[in-house]
Amino acid sequence: MAEKNYTIPINEEFDKYDGCPLCRLHQRFERHSLEYIMGAAMMEPDVRQMTNLTGFCRDHYEKMLAMGNRLSLSLMLQSYLAELEGKLKGPGSAGKKGYANSLAYVTRANDGCFVCERAAQTLTALARNVAYLWQTDAAFREKFAKQEFFCLRHATLMLRIAEQELGKNASGFASAVAEVAIKGLQPARDKIDRFCRSFDYRYASDPLGDASQAAEDAIHWILGEKI
């Protein structure tokens, strides 16, 4: 199950004890994917075939624009738009089957994102390796337990890995994940409770303090760092 290439970055991020380590891993490999696609990979036929098929989400188009290499992005867009034009013309010239094929293509091109899909695949592999390290490395279990929190998004991913792949070790790993995740949930819930209570006249004079950002903090725990 483990891929040794992933154990080094996992340990590096789990050594930081600041926020959700899987958020940081996600961001790290998202950056790698953006640098990859905007570099030499942009000219590789199999990569271009995939970007023609999936396109990119708005967030990743914006991030690629911010990287400044407009030629790489424009070359990808050139072939992507050409493919789309051909598929959009298809329904009127190839009958019912052509319509279905064209609809499937443009739906995939509209809904997909090369970077999101690549990052999601990598993160799933990383989560499997986190579970492997937790099972096999006592020192890693200690680091795992000391994490500040896991966001709900990545706690759910690890709980899914536990259910699907860990067999008799599933409940132990799931309990360890939940224990760390709750470290982030409890202060978020406390701030939300204090913020909502401040609208009750009986508590109107109580200082709001850090509860003024309660909604933002709760969303941060639910969704994790913005990727």
pLDDT in tens, 198-213: 888 887 788 888 888 8
- CB-count burial class (<10 Å; 0-12, 13-18, 19+) for 111: exposed
Q: Tell me whether residue 169 is in a domain.
A: no
Give Cβ neighbours of residue 162 (< 8 Å, ≥ 6 apart). Answer: 131, 169, 170, 171, 173, 174, 177
Q: Tell me whether residue 79 is in a domain.
A: yes
Q: Tell me whether residue 194 is in a domain.
A: no
| Mean predicted confidence (pLDDT) in 86-108 | 70
Q: Tell me whether residue 22 is in a domain.
A: yes
pTM, two decimals, is 0.81
Q: Tell me whether residue 187 is in a domain.
A: no
Q: Tell me whether residue 67 is in a domain.
A: yes
Is 144:213 a contact under the CB 8 Å cutoff? no
To 10 degrees, what angle do helices 152-165 and 21-37 make?
90
Containing structural domain, residue 15: 4-136
| Mean predicted confidence (pLDDT) in 60-87 | 89
Is 154:14 a contact under the CB 8 Å cutoff? no
pLDDT of 20 above 50: yes
Q: Tell me whether residue 110 is in a domain.
A: yes
What gap in Å lies between CA 171 and CA 41, rounded to an integer? 41
Q: What tens digit of pLDDT does each residue of 39-67 get? A: 878 778 888 888 888 889 999 999 999 99
Number of structural domains in the chain: 1
